[in-house]
Structure 1
Amino acid sequence: MNISWSATSQTSGKFASVERSGFGGLIERFDKLRAQGRGYLEVRAGAVFPVLTLGFAGSAAVVHLVTDEDAMSLLAADERADANAEVLVLDDPVEFTADFVLNLERAWLVVEEFVHTGDPGRAGEWHELK
């Protein structure tokens, strides 16, 4: 599947909206950001939409799904986290309730599945933001 992605720059720490392609490059960037302890990335599987985003700090992560210019959803945690968490969204730390805080490993699996299938619906329960 043809993917494009953009992510936090590992040198500046700011979101770099330049899109890149290829899953190997995405894995490499994610690994570097994980080593730094925080990051944000956006992934497209083919078309303009949907876009899957992953923001994280430490082991806490939040996954958004953007289905069009006016529709965004949050992925509910399979198991409620012990506490709220602050993760990166673009360049800023944003606090999320424990209902939407995933373990980083689980969140990365969601990204991998989206890259391979293009189907965000398989990830779990999405809650539309209003």
Structure 2
Amino acid sequence: MNISWSATSPTSGRFAPAERSGVAGLIERFDQLRAQGRGYLEVRSDAAFPVLTLGFTGSAAVVHLMTAEDAFSLLAADEPARANAEALVLDDPVEFTADFVLDLERAWQVVEDFVRTGDPDRSGQWRELQ
């Protein structure tokens, strides 16, 4: 599957909306951001939607799904975290309830699966935001 992605710049620490392509570049950028301890990325296939986002601070991560311009969902945690946590959304830390806080490794697995299949429904239960 062809993918497009954009992510936090490791040099500025700000979200860089310019889209790039290729899985190798996405993995490299994620590794850079993980080493810095925080980041945000957006991934999509050739179509405008769906778009999967991953935001994290430390080991706490949150995954969003956009299925249309105004349709957003959060991936529910398989097991809720012990406490609420902050995760980066674009450039800002946002606090999320424990029900949506994933371990960073689990969140990255969701992104990898989406990149391979293009199917976000395989990841778990999505809760639509109102």
* CA distance in 2 between partners of 1:72 and 1:120 (Å): 13
Q: Which residue of 1 aligns with 2:27?
A: 27
Q: Is the 8 A contact 1:45 1:114 kept in 2?
A: no
Q: 1:12-69: per-residue Cα shift (whole Å, max 9, x none)?
A: 0000000000000000000000000000000002200000000000000000000000
Q: Which residue of 2 aligns with 1:13?
A: 13
Q: Which residue of 2 aligns with 1:54?
A: 54
Q: Which residue of 1 aligns with 2:109?
A: 109
Give unpaired runs (5+ residues) of structure 1: none
Letter in 1 for 2:121: G
* CA distance in 2 between partners of 1:31 and 1:3 (Å): 18
Query: Structure 1 length as normaliser, TM-score?
Result: 0.99
Letter in 2 for 1:90: L
Q: Is the 8 A contact 1:8 1:14 kept in 2?
A: yes
Alignment RMSD (CA, Å): 0.3
| Aligned residues with identical type, % of pairs | 80
Aligned residues: 130
* CA distance in 1 between partners of 2:70 and 2:88 (Å): 21
Letter in 2 for 1:125: Q
Partner SS state of residue 20, structure 1: strand
Shift of the alpha carbon at 1:91? Answer: 0.2
* CA distance in 2 between partners of 1:98 and 1:28 (Å): 28
Q: Is the 8 A contact 1:5 1:44 kept in 2?
A: yes
* CA distance in 2 between partners of 1:27 and 1:108 (Å): 10
Q: Which residue of 1 aligns with 2:128?
A: 128
Q: Which residue of 1 aligns with 2:81?
A: 81
Shift of the alpha carbon at 1:70? Answer: 1.1
* CA distance in 2 between partners of 1:14 and 1:61 (Å): 17
Query: Structure 2 length as normaliser, TM-score?
Result: 0.99
Partner SS state of residue 49, structure 1: coil
Q: Is the 8 A contact 1:74 1:126 kept in 2?
A: yes
